């Protein structure tokens, strides 16, 4: 095994893998799941891990004659760590598929490794539009910010909201949300009077919200990543924006099902657009929510969980279609074009863009049986990511 000599050198090891040495001929099929399990985005890791395990518990770990092995590693939400873990998984563990990717910078850090080693990379969370263009081996089962922003930018001006300040986390998905909202809302006759960006890490929303209050808009349009919505909501109330008659509209990342119930009265009535709500009415979703909750001490699944659950589905079905062949190119081909019913509704992996096409729902936070839920009241069918040029 000449390859062993190269293991010390990352570049050479990857070059060797690209030459076809990647997949060991064994009866195991390895999925390398890299997630933020600790740090500020740990809730995303916990949700996706729980969902992936649920999918396996429901569908078995034997697929097309292979035993599925899930290798879970914590990247703490740090791109350098994600990249190193992916490298180790490709070279040492010889994983057949890489999966996870809780945030945009983590997906971008790994994309070149997927390309070099020809390993399919299933992005279950990160949602900047351009991620799928970073490697032809990327397939996405989450969503994109432009995809879920158009809905609320159409809804708002029809519902008396004409003047908006946007407030987003200052990185890929936030900038996608800011741009998409402005373009669409302006096209619809509205005005974005100010575009505020807050740091991704440890944001102190107070000074920004003060600025917003002074601008006296009809509403704030917000995007912050999963987990950060509680702090935003709390500050929104503490700064008296709701009392000043300023509405909050957002993508569903803000009223994230994982934390929504703890937000309290201030969240009631907030309208958002998103691709998944735990309150989505379908038999499949009811089953998913019940099983997820039962397996995780009552935890409610959020949109991250659904991205993880569907990501496992895409991997399982690709393995079946290729009759147990772990070959990256064949798997990738079998991931493209999959059509299925997800707990979120009908979905489709567009073979051209490798991105997910799905319904986007307009929802309002309401109290249902004493609990806060994003109740869907309008459906925009089969939304493609509008952030792509082709």
Residues that bind ligand VNL (CB under 6 A): 41, 44, 102-104, 125-128, 172-173, 225-226, 253
CB of 163 to ligand VNL, least distance (A): 26
CB of 243 to ligand VNL, least distance (A): 28
Q: For residues 66 and 354, which CB has a smaller minimum distance to ligand VNL in the complex?
A: 354
Q: For residues 54 and 123, which CB has a smaller minimum distance to ligand VNL in the complex?
A: 123
Q: For residues 54 and 222, which CB has a smaller minimum distance to ligand VNL in the complex?
A: 222
Q: Are 178 and 129 in contact (CB under 8 A)?
A: no
Residue among 61, 56, 69, 62 nearest 24 (CA) = 69
CB of 41 to ligand VNL, least distance (A): 5
User: CA-to-CA distance for 26 and 65, rounded, in angstroms?
Assistant: 11
DSSP H or E stretch at residue 328: helix 328-335
Q: For residues 14 and 271, which CB has a smaller minimum distance to ligand VNL in the complex?
A: 271
339 burial (CB, 10 Å; 0-12 / 13-18 / 19+) is: exposed
Q: For residues 218 and 385, which CB has a smaller minimum distance to ligand VNL in the complex?
A: 385
Q: For residues 124 and 196, which CB has a smaller minimum distance to ligand VNL in the complex?
A: 124
CB of 30 to ligand VNL, least distance (A): 25
Beta-sheet pairing, 66-74 with 247-251: unpaired
Classify residue 332 as left (phi > 0), alpha (psi -120 to 50) or beta.
alpha
Number of Cβ within 10 Å of residue 360's Cβ equals 27
Which residue's Cβ lies closest to ligand VNL? 225
CB of 98 to ligand VNL, least distance (A): 16
Residue among 73, 103, 304 nearest 200 (CA) = 103
3-state secondary structure (DSSP) of residue 202: coil
User: CA-to-CA distance for 162 and 218, rounded, in angstroms?
Assistant: 7
CB of 44 to ligand VNL, least distance (A): 5
Q: What residues are paired with 142 via a beta bridge?
A: none
Q: For residues 82 and 226, which CB has a smaller minimum distance to ligand VNL in the complex?
A: 226
CB of 63 to ligand VNL, least distance (A): 29
70 burial (CB, 10 Å; 0-12 / 13-18 / 19+) is: middle
């Amino acid at each position: 095994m000449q390859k062993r000599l190269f293991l010390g050198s990352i570049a050479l090891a990857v070059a060797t893998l690209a030459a076809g040495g990647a997949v060991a001929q064994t009866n195991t099929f390895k999925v390398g799941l890299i997630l933020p399990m600790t740090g500020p985005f740990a809730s995303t890791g916990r949700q996706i891990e729980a969902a992936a395990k649920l999918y396996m518990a429901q569908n078995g770990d034997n697929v097309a004659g292979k035993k599925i092995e899930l290798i879970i590693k914590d990247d703490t939400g740090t791109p350098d760590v994600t990249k190193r873990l992916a490298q180790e998984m490709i070279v040492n563990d010889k994983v057949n598929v890489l999966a996870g990717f809780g945030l945009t910078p983590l997906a971008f850090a790994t994309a070149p490794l997927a390309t070099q080693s020809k390993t399919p990379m299933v992005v279950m969370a990160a949602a900047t539009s351009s991620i799928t263009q970073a490697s032809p081996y990327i397939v996405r089962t989450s969503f994109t910010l432009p995809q879920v922003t158009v809905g609320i930018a159409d809804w708002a001006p029809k519902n008396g909201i004409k003047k908006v300040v946007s407030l987003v986390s200052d990185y890929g998905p936030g900038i996608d949300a800011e741009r998409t909202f402005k373009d669409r809302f302006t096209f619809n006759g509205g005005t974005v009077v100010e575009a505020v960006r807050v740091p991704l890490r440890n944001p102190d929303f107070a000074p920004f919200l003060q600025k917003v209050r002074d601008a006296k808009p009809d509403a704030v349009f917000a995007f912050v990543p999963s987990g950060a919505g509680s702090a935003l909501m709390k500050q929104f109330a503490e700064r008296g924006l709701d009392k000043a008659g300023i509405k909050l509209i957002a993508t569903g990342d803000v009223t994230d099902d994982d934390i929504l119930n703890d937000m309290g009265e201030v969240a009631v009535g907030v309208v958002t657009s998103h691709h998944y709500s735990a309150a989505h009415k379908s038999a499949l979703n009811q089953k998913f929510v019940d099983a997820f909750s039962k397996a995780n001490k009552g935890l409610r699944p959020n949109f991250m969980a659904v991205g993880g659950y569907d990501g496992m589905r895409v991997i399982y079905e690709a393995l079946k279609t290729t009759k147990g062949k772990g070959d990256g190119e064949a798997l990738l081909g079998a991931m493209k074009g999959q059509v299925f019913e997800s707990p979120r509704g009908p979905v489709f992996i567009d073979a051209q863009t490798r991105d997910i096409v799905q319904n986007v729902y307009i929802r309002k936070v309401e109290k249902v049986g004493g609990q806060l839920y994003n109740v869907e009241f309008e459906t925009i069918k089969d939304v493609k990511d509008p952030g792509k040029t082709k």
